[in-house]
Amino acid sequence: MPAALVGISHSPLIGKNDPAPDVLAAVDEAVTDARAFIAAFAPDLVVLYAPDHYNGFFYREMPPFCLATEANAVGDFGSAAGPLSVDGEAARTLADGALARGVDLTVSARMTVDHGFVQPLQVLFGGIDQVPVVPIFVNGVAAPFGPVSRIRALGTAIGLAAADLDRRVLFIGSGGLSHDPPVPILAGAPPRVADGLIEGHPPTPEQRARGEERVVQAGRAYAGGSTSMIAINPAWDELVLDTFAGGRLEDVDAWTVEWMGAEGGGSGHETRAWIAAFASLAATGAYSMTSRFYRPIPEWIAGFAVATALPSGQRDEGLTARPGGLPSKP
Ligand SMILES: O=C(O)/C=C/c1cccc(O)c1O
Ligand SMILES: [Fe+2]
């Protein structure tokens, strides 16, 4: 099966609290390269792994992961709202394939998604309805978290199931890398906040605007150095990217929940979406990372990365967006 991968961080602060122009230009170039990579590959199906930020999944029941056969975006932080162009038939086939391979996958027949899913679709494809997609939620913010080995197992099972589809499949992982935005935490939350995290009452427009402004202000404080949030951790982020680049995905099975949180921050678990995507690609055979970009961007509260990868055979056939190979690290 022709396959490809893009990993891309997201941040709702993009365009709202931007870094210096040279950093912005470097991100733009990496994203432009990723778009060219996608255009060269010409996928006819996207499997998109992404987290949620208490817009679609709540503690009334919080699965570790969940595949959607239909999905609607809420339009948080000014992102696009409305239905995603979900390929329901492919979604059901992938769900069956993952379940048949022993992964206890939850399925949603109408998933609510937020900027975690929407931003990569807008940035890479120009909209949420431009390409057939199978959205797969991977919990990256709501503790407790299960072992990372189960995320790798999910990605592997989905990758094997996708290989039976006879489609050109692009796997995308959205999120991370290290970052610690002010996403609420259930443990110790005041009763009113806890109730919201459990029940998921839809916020009024005023409540949503207040919550989003709080995140923008947190980004400004973070960039100004006055904050109690865990700092972005470039050394950990490079370790994560090195692991993917080296094809050493089994290593992630030894990554403990505690270690990931301590090194990667409260939302460092969004890196799980990347792990699932790389495991899916690896299930189709050996792969090569074909481009790699990383910058710590406190203005966006993100260790921000963009990476592309192809099965080694496809790369040898010349299907790569970067003929010169892996660009050097910044
Ligand atoms: O508050 C939210 O919903 C999310 C904030 C955020 C900030 C920075 C990076 C991310 O990945 C986020 O989800
Ligand atoms: Fe996020």
Q: SS3 of 46, please?
A: strand
Q: Is 179 a catalytic residue?
A: yes
Residues ≥6 apart with Cβ < 8 Å to 290: 37, 308, 309, 310, 315, 320, 321, 322, 325, 326
Nearest protein CA to atom 13 of ligand 1, as residue: 11
Instruction: For residue 215, give the ligand nearest its CA.
Output: 1
User: Of 49, 119, 180, 301, which is best to mutate to test ligand 1, by the most ligand atoms within 8 angstroms of its C-beta?
Assistant: 301
Could you give the residue ranges of the DSSP H alpha helices within the chain?
21-41, 88-100, 115-125, 148-163, 191-199, 205-224, 234-245, 257-264, 271-283, 312-316
Tell me whether residue 183 is exposed, middle or buried, using C-beta atoms within 10 angstroms of its C-beta: 0 to 12, 13 to 18, 19 or more.
middle
Between CA 223 and CA 24 the distance in angstroms is 15
Region of 126 please: left (phi>0), alpha (psi -120 to 50) or beta: left
Across residues 45-57, what is the average pLDDT?
A: 98
User: Of 8, 9, 13, which is best to mutate to test ligand 1, by the most ligand atoms within 8 angstroms of its C-beta?
Assistant: 13
Residue 49 tokens read as: 């792994």
- Give the Å distance between the CA of 11 and the centre of ligand 1: 5
Domain ranges of the chain: 3-316
Residue 270 tokens read as: 């969004």
Contact 137, 57 (CB under 8 A): yes
Report the candidate in 310, 283, 276 with the shortest Cα–Cα distance to residue 136.
Answer: 276
What is the pLDDT at residue 318? 55
Which long-range CB contacts under 8 A does 238-246 form with residues at least 24 apart?
A: 238/294, 238/329, 240/176, 240/177, 240/264, 240/271, 240/274, 241/177, 241/292, 241/294, 241/305, 241/307, 244/7, 244/274, 244/278, 244/289, 244/307, 244/309, 245/289, 245/292, 245/307, 245/326
Cβ of residue 267 lying under 6 Å from some atom of ligand 1: yes
**For 105-144, how does the pLDDT look when each residue is reduced to its tens digit (9 = 90+)?**
999 999 999 999 999 999 999 999 999 999 999 999 999 9
- Give the Å distance between the CA of 110 and the centre of ligand 1: 23
Instruction: For residue 54, give the ligand nearest its CA.
Output: 1
What is the pLDDT at residue 252? 98
Cβ of residue 272 lying under 6 Å from some atom of ligand 1: no
- The pLDDT-based confidence of 324 (bands split at 50, 70, 90) is very low
Residue 118 tokens read as: 């929407």
Nearest ligand 1 atom to the CA of 9 is: 11
Nearest ligand 1 atom to the CA of 53 is: 3
Q: Which of 10, 53, 115, 269 is catalytic?
A: 115
Report the candidate in 305, 295, 293, 300 with the shortest Cα–Cα distance to residue 223.
Answer: 300
Q: Is the peptide bond before 144 cis (omega within 30 degrees of 0)?
A: yes
**For 173-231, how does the pLDDT look when each residue is reduced to its tens digit (9 = 90+)?**
999 899 999 899 999 999 999 999 999 999 999 999 999 999 999 999 999 987 778 89
Contact 281, 170 (CB under 8 A): no
Which long-range CB contacts under 8 A does 54-57 form with residues at least 24 apart?
A: 54/141, 54/142, 54/183, 54/184, 54/196, 54/197, 54/200, 55/112, 55/113, 55/114, 56/111, 56/112, 56/113, 56/114, 56/137, 57/137, 57/139, 57/142, 57/200
Instruction: For residue 179, give the ligand nearest its CA.
Output: 1
Residue 321 has pLDDT above 50, yes or no: no
Contact 121, 48 (CB under 8 A): yes
What is the pLDDT at residue 251? 98
Cβ of residue 301 lying under 6 Å from some atom of ligand 1: yes
Q: Is 115 a catalytic residue?
A: yes
Residue 64 tokens read as: 């570790």
Between CA 207 and CA 119 the distance in angstroms is 22
What is the pLDDT at residue 194? 96
Cβ of residue 269 lying under 6 Å from some atom of ligand 1: no
Residue range 3-316 in CATH 1.20.5.510:
no
Q: Which of 10, 53, 179, 269 is catalytic?
A: 179
- The pLDDT-based confidence of 316 (bands split at 50, 70, 90) is low
Residue 196 tokens read as: 């919201």
